[in-house]
């Protein structure tokens, strides 16, 4: 792998973002990690420069949250919107979804678990989706799954 390997980490929660970045740099020390904190920021980052890999949170605000901006409407499936944008724009980049939630509410109200979301994402984005991981800072399982997903793509 070259020293120019780039990763776009799309995550709005600073502690989770820092935790994932630290781990990724332990595994891929030569990677350059860039950040986006919202759906729109992720789209802008993808338009500006195509990364070699994207690590994408599923639940994202529409806009970056700061002292002057509340982030717009929160999107439980904001990560899916980013992937749809990529598909419609012809942007080809492998994606690993990393979420802290075990289930997501649908508009109809019934929660959808990660297995179902994984199946839906794999069906809609077969050439893009590398994996979907459940992040929990207390446990190491997400790290093992991420390391395995990276290894399967020859990223080490």
Domain of 133: which CATH number? 3.40.50.2300
Distance from C-alpha of 125 to C-alpha of 117, rounded to nearest angstrom: 12
**In this structure, is residue 21 part of a structural domain?**
yes
**In this structure, is residue 1 part of a structural domain?**
no
Q: How many domains does the chain have?
A: 1
Give me the pLDDT at residue 74, please. 55
**In this structure, is residue 61 part of a structural domain?**
yes
**In this structure, is residue 82 part of a structural domain?**
yes
3-state class (DSSP) for residue 3: coil
The b/e string for 3-14 (b: 16+ C-beta within 10 A; e otherwise) is eeebbbbbbbee
pTM: 0.89
pLDDT-derived band at 155 (thresholds 50, 70, 90) equals confident
pLDDT reading at 2 higher than 80: no
Between 65 and 9, the higher pLDDT residue: 9
**In this structure, is residue 70 part of a structural domain?**
yes
| pLDDT tens sequence across 63-122 | 776 656 555 555 568 999 999 999 999 999 999 999 988 877 776 677 888 899 999 999
**In this structure, is residue 58 part of a structural domain?**
yes
**In this structure, is residue 136 part of a structural domain?**
yes
- Beta-bridge partner residues of 8: 34, 54
For residues 45-70, give the mean pLDDT.
85
Give me the pLDDT at residue 110, please. 79
Give me the pLDDT at residue 1, please. 52
For residues 122-141, give the mean pLDDT.
95
Q: Are 111 and 104 in contact (CB under 8 A)?
A: yes
Q: Are 5 and 32 in contact (CB under 8 A)?
A: yes
Containing domain of residue 133, as a range?
A: 6-152
Per DSSP, which regions of 22-154 are E strands?
32-36, 53-56, 60-61, 74-75, 95-99, 103-105, 111-113, 129-134
Distance from C-alpha of 32 to C-alpha of 119, rounded to nearest angstrom: 30
């Amino acid at each position: 792998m070259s020293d120019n390997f780039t990763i776009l980490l799309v995550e709005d929660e600073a502690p989770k973002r820092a935790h994932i970045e630290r781990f990724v740099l332990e595994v891929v020390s030569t990677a350059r990690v860039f950040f986006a904190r919202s759906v729109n920021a992720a789209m802008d980052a993808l338009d500006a420069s195509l990364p070699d890999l994207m690590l994408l949170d599923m639940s994202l605000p529409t806009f970056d949250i700061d002292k002057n901006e509340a982030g717009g409407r929160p999107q439980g499936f904001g990560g899916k919107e980013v992937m749809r944008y990529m598909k419609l724009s012809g942007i080809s980049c492998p994606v690993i979804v990393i979420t802290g939630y075990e289930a997501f509410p649908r508009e109809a109200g019934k929660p959808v678990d990660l297995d179902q979301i994984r199946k839906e994402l794999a069906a809609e984005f077969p050439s893009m989706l590398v994996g979907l991981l459940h992040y929990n800072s207390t446990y190491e399982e997400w790290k093992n799954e991420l390391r395995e997903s990276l290894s399967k793509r020859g990223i080490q």
